[in-house]
Amino acid sequence: MPDTPLHCLPRAEEIDSLSTSALRQSFLLEHLFQSGQLNLIPTDLDRLAVGAAMPIGELRLPSCREFGTAYFTERREIGIINIGAPGVVRVGAQSYTLELLECLYVGIGEPEISFESITDQPPAFYFLSSPAHHKHPTAKVARSDAQSVTLGVPATASCRRLNKCIHPGGVQSCQLVMGFTELEPSSVWNTMPAHTHTRRSEIYLYFDLGDHLVVHLFGEPENTRHLIVRDRQAILSPPWSLHSGAGTANYRFIWGMAGENQSFDDMDAIPMESLL
């Protein structure tokens, strides 16, 4: 994998001048998952890096020149969730089998990390990484181990199950918070009323859409924009931007955050009447 330059996002005041194509290039990652490849995008969102690996055989996690370190996790932690066939993540001499929607946290100081397939179908490992200052142990989160809560009501088409994997009440990390949300049949809104995380950045990966799509809302509350998002595409959400979306059917999405704190409830609600 060649070295990838830092992906820098526009400022809030710049989005009015951007075309739909330019907005997609800035905020949407369209081609993360490619069979037999590992793709990595370092960003300026609290120095979050996002990537995907679909190994046919083995793919090693390379170093990244943008980090200025000898290897990937020298000063970084990483969260990995599998959204494909079963596969293996090797961390040094240890191996961890991840089934569908299982998560692995890897702390700093692990120079050898690789992704491997174990069936005829490749796994689809999605990962997020943030800077870290303290070693937390590598830990697997089975799907049944995630801390789950049911949100929303049928009247607003927003019934969903939120599953926390890496968070202060579960697997410990320095600043990375990560999990996934599953929408119930006949529900399409992932959150509404909308909110912002002014002290943290967030990245969404939409998946299990099939041929359906999500209309993702972003921008400042009084100056909203939208993007059409399809299966296994990720949205970069800076602290100044709200984030909400509605699909043409139910779906799942992985969320991950880093910034000033790890409090999931640290958000600024936006009154419905304020949206423009």
CATH number for the domain spanning 229: value is 2.60.120.10
Please, which pLDDT band fits residue 198 given cuts at 50, 70 and 90? confident
Looking at residue 254, what is its pLDDT? 98
Residue 33 placed within a domain: yes
What is the tens place of the pLDDT at every residue in 231-252?
999 999 999 999 899 999 999 9
Query: Per-residue pLDDT averaged across 142-165, rounded?
Result: 95
State the amino acid at position 213 in one-letter form: L
Side-chain-side CA neighbours of residue 22 (13 Å): 8
How far from chain centre, in Å, is Cα 38? Answer: 16
Please, which pLDDT band fits residue 191 given cuts at 50, 70 and 90? confident
What is the tens place of the pLDDT at every residue in 129-152?
999 999 999 999 999 999 999 999
Q: Is the dihedral of CA 189, 190, 193, 195 positive or negative?
A: negative
pTM for this model (two decimals): 0.95
Residue 220 placed within a domain: yes
What is the domain count for the chain? Answer: 1
Strand, coil or helix: 252:
strand
Alpha-carbon gap, residue 169 to 147, rounded angstroms: 8
Query: Per-residue pLDDT averaged across 4-26, rounded?
Result: 94
- Please tell me whether the peptide bond between 62 and the residue prior to it is cis, using omega within 30 degrees of 0: no
Looking at residue 270, what is its pLDDT? 78
State the amino acid at position 271 in one-letter form: P
pLDDT of 2 > 60? The answer is no
pLDDT of 59 > 60? The answer is yes
Residue 4 placed within a domain: no
Least confident interval from 7-16, 58-67, 115-124, 191-200: 191-200
Please, which pLDDT band fits residue 199 given cuts at 50, 70 and 90? confident
Query: Per-residue pLDDT averaged across 79-102, rounded?
Result: 98
Residue 166 placed within a domain: yes
Residue 206 placed within a domain: yes
pLDDT of 214 > 90? The answer is yes
Print the domain residue range for 31.
14-274
Residue 8 placed within a domain: no
Q: Is the dihedral of CA 90, 96, 100, 101 positive or negative?
A: negative
Please, which pLDDT band fits residue 33 given cuts at 50, 70 and 90? very high
Of all residues in the chain, the percent with pLDDT exceeding 70 is 98
Alpha-carbon gap, residue 149 to 142, rounded angstroms: 16
Query: Per-residue pLDDT averaged across 76-88, rounded?
Result: 98
- Closest CA relative to residue 31, chosen from 60, 45, 51, 47: 51
